Chains A and B, each alone.
Chain A
Amino acid sequence: MGKTRVARTGNEAMAEAIRQINPDVVAAYPITPATEVMQIFATYVADGLVDTELVPTESEHSAMSAAIGSQVAGARTMTATSSQGLALMYEMLYIAAGLRLPLIMAEVNRALSAPINIHCDHSDTMGGRDAGWIQIFSENSQEAYDNLIQAVRIAEHKDVLLPIMVTTDGFIISHAMEAMEIYDDKDVRGFIGTYKPLLPALDHRNPITVGAIDFVDYYFEHRRAVAQAMINAKDVILEVGREFGRKFGQEYGFYEAYKLDDAEVAMVCLGSTAGTGKDAIDNLRKRGIKAGLLKIRVFRPFPAEELAARLRCVPQICVLDRSDALAATGGPLFAELLAAMYEDRSEHKIINRIYGLGGRDIKVGEIEELLSAQVSAAAGGKSIDRIAYLGVRE
C-alpha cells in the first residue's frame, strides 16, 4: 500500500480520483467551479493517461443524457457539474436513478440563480435530493478524493445500482490547496474492481428494451424498487467505508462526531463548514462550554436513526443549513433532522440557522457566539429564535 503526500485543491483531488478510476466514458459541460475538474481530466485524455472516451457535450442536459446512454450501453461513466448545470440535468437525474444506473458525478456545490452567483452554497445539490441519487458531502480535498473512490463501489453494488454524487464546496474546497494523501493507482484500481454491467444494451445478441413506458399497473412497483435500493445503500455505504479504512487507513461512516460525547450543545452541518466548526468547538471548550460537532457525510440516504442515536444525549442542537428550502420552515437539513429526532422521542432543543448563501463566509467567531447564546438561553438567559438567518443584512 503506497501513499504519497501531496498538496491538491478539491478539483485537482477529484480529477486525480477520476484518472485513477479510469472510467470508460466521461460526458461533461463546463460550469464554474466544477469546470476545472474536466479541464484537468481532458489533459489526461489528451496525454493518453486514461482509456476514457470524453464526450464534451453542448449542454449539461446532454451531458447527463449521454452519460445515461453510455451507462446503459455497459460503460462505467462519470460526469462533473455545479449549480445551473445540475439544475439543467434535473429531468435526467430522476431518469438515471429510475433506470438504476450507477453513474458517478463530481458535484461542486454552488448557489443557484437568481441572482447569478458562482460561490458556494448547497441549494444545487439539495434540489436533487429527492431524485434517487446517493449524495455524499466532503469536508476537504482528502475526503473528496476518498469519497469518489468509494462512490464507485457503492453505486455499482448489486443491492444498490443507483447513481451517486460526491460533492465539495465551491471555491472553499474546489479551489483551496490542502495537504492530502493519494494512493497508488494499482491499489485504487484493486479497490474499485472492474465494472460488470448487468444487462448492457450493447449486447445485441440479448436485446433489451430500456426506458419502457409503465402505466398504473407497473410504475409504482418500479419506483418502490428504487426506494429499496436507497434503503439498501445504507449498509453498503458502511461496508465500503469500513473496507476503505482497512485498505487505506481512514474509515468512513454516515457522519463524523467531533467532541460530541459529553457535549451540552452541538452544531450539525455538511461539508467544509465542519472545518471551521471544529475550531469554534475548540475555542468554546477553552471557555468552558462543552460544545461538539456532528458533520453529516451522507445526506442521501438520510441516516435518520443513526443521527438521532448519536445526538440522543445532546440537549442543545444547532443545525446549520447552507441552503434554504424557502418553505417558511427553515432549511432542508433542519427539517430532516427534526423529523429524525422526533421519532427518537428524546428531549432536545433544536434550532436552525441558514447561513453562507452564495458563498457568504461563516467565521469561527460567529459559530462560537451562536452556540454560546444557545447554551445561555437554555440556562434561562435571553431567549433565542428557533429558525433564523446567520450573517445576512436584514
Chain B
Amino acid sequence: MSNLKQLATRRAPLCGGHRACAGCSAPNVVRQVLMASADPVVVGSATGCLEVTTTIFPYSAWNVPFVHSAFENAGASVSGIEAAYKSLKKQGKIADEKINFVAFGGDGGTYDIGFQSLSGAMERGHNLLYVCYDNGAYMNTGIQRSSATPRGAMTTTSPVGKVVQGKQQQRKDLTACMVAHEIPYVAQTTPAHWRDLNAKAEYAFSIDGPKFMNVLAPCRLGWGFPMELTMEMCRLAADTCFWPLYEVVDGRYKLTYTPREKKPIEDFLKLQTRFRHLFRPENEHVIAEIQQEVDRKWERLQKLCKL
C-alpha cells in the first residue's frame, strides 16, 4: 500500500476548479480511487453530478482520459473501451502497456437505471473497476429517491407529507448483488477511511477481471448537513454500522473496519435534515426499526466474515 507521501507525489487525476458543491465528496472518491493506480487510467462516467460538474465545455477538470456518453450505460461504455484496448493491443496497434479502466456512476446510475448495464459488464468479465459513489439519491436532478435512498429519508419524490413521511422502503443492498455476481473483488468503503479506500483500490487494480467498489459519498445538499462535516458523516456511517467497511475477495468476506464502540443510528441520522421528521414522537418507531435493520445486517455480515 502506498503511503501518504507517495500518494502526494502523484499527479491529481481530477484537478480543482470544478463546479461540485463545497463539501461534495464525489471528487474525493474519484481522486482517492484513481491515485491508487500506479498505471495509466482511462475513466468512464455515467451522467450525474460528477460528470456535469467536472466537464463544463470548454473546460475539463480531468487530467486523464474521460469518457461520458449517457446515464444508464457506464458499465457497457467502459466494456467497449476495454474491449478496444484488448483488441488493439493484441493486434499490436497500440503499445503493450497496462492501462486500468474505471467506471464511475452515482447510485441512480448504478443501483437503478444502470443496473443491467453494470450486471452485463461484470458477467462478461471485462477487466475494469466499477466504482459507485453512493450519495443516496438522484442529486443532479434535485434529490429524488433512488433504490439506494435509506428508509425514512426525505427526498423530493419521497417528501414528508401529512400521511406519508419520507421513503417507505429499505435500501437495496447493491454490494450484496455484486457479490452474487461472483466476481473476483467487491468492496465497500468511504473516502474518510482513505487508507482503507486506497488499499482496496490498489488491490482492485492489481487483479484481472471485473471489480466493484461501493463508496459512500455524503451529499451535504441532499442529506442536509453542514458542509464541513462531510468526512464526519462517513465516519458516523461506519461507526453506526449503517455502512460497514468490508471486502469480498473471491467470495470470501472480510471486515476491514470494526468500530471500537458501535454507535446508535440516531448519531448518524440526527445530523441530517433529511431525517429530521423521524425525531417527531410519532415517528420514533421508524428509528427503532431502522436500528433493527442495521443490527440485523451487521450481525449477518459478521457471520459471513467468519465463514
B260 at the A interface (CB under 8 A)? no
The answer to whether B79 and A69 have CB atoms under 8 Å apart is yes
Bound-state Cα–Cα, A209 to B66, Å? 5
Which chain B residues (106-146) contact chain A, with CB distance < 8 Å? 116-117, 119-120, 123-124
Check A62–B76 contact: CB distance below 8 A.
yes
Instruction: Tell me whether A204 and B65 are in contact (CB under 8 A).
Output: yes
How far, in whole Å, are A208 and B80 apart by their CA atoms in the complex? Answer: 17
**Chain B 151-182: CB-based contact to A (< 8 A → 1; otherwise 0):** 00000000000000000000000000000000
Q: Is A73 located at the chain interface by the 8 A CB criterion?
A: yes
Cβ–Cβ contact B70 & A95, under 8 A: yes
- Check: B44 CB closer than 8 A to any chain A CB: yes
In this complex, the member of B44, B58, B67, B87 whose beta carbon has the largest number of chain A beta carbons within 10 angstroms is B87
Which residues of the other chain, B, contact A106 by a CB distance below 8 angstroms?
Answer: none
The answer to whether A24 and B76 touch across the interface, beta carbons within 8 angstroms, is: no
> Please, what's the 1-or-0 string for B50-87, where 1 marks a CB less than 8 Å from any CB in chain A?
01100111101011111111101101111111011111
Complexed CA–CA distance, A75 and B85 (Å): 8
Contact pick for A77, options B68, B75, B80, CB 8 Å: B80
Contact-size category for A: 35 or more
With A55-B79, A68-B80, A204-B65 as given contacts, are A62 and B55 in contact (CB-CB < 8 Å)?
no
Contacts of B64 in A (CB 8 A): 204, 207
Q: Encode A58-82 as 1/0 by CB contact (under 8 A) with B.
A: 1101110111111111110100000
Cα-based distance from A218 to B84 in the complex (angstroms): 30
Report A63 CB to chain B, min CB distance, Å: 8
Residue with the highest number of chain A CB atoms closer than 10 Å, among B62, B63, B78, B79: B79
Nearest Cβ distance between residue A109 and chain B, in whole angstroms? 25
In the assembled complex, the CB of A75 is this many whole angstroms from the nearest CB of chain B, namely 4
Contacts of A61 in B (CB 8 A): 72-73, 76, 117
CB of A2 within 8 Å of the partner chain: no
CB proximity of A44 to chain B, nearest CB, Å: 14
B73 and A65 form a contact (CB under 8 A): yes
B88 within 8 A of A: yes
A210 and B63 contacting across the interface, CB-CB below 8 Å: no
Bound Cα distance from A69 to B75, whole angstroms: 10
Q: Does B16 contact A (CB under 8 A)?
A: no
CA distance A67 to B67 in the complex (A): 13
Shortest beta-carbon distance from B79 to chain A in Å = 5
Binding site for B on A (CB under 8 A): 24-25, 27, 51-53, 55-59, 61-63, 65-75, 77, 91-92, 95, 99, 201-204, 207-215, 218
10 contacts between A and B (CB under 8 A): A57-B124, A58-B119, A66-B76, A71-B84, A202-B42, A204-B40, A207-B63, A210-B66, A212-B56, A213-B55
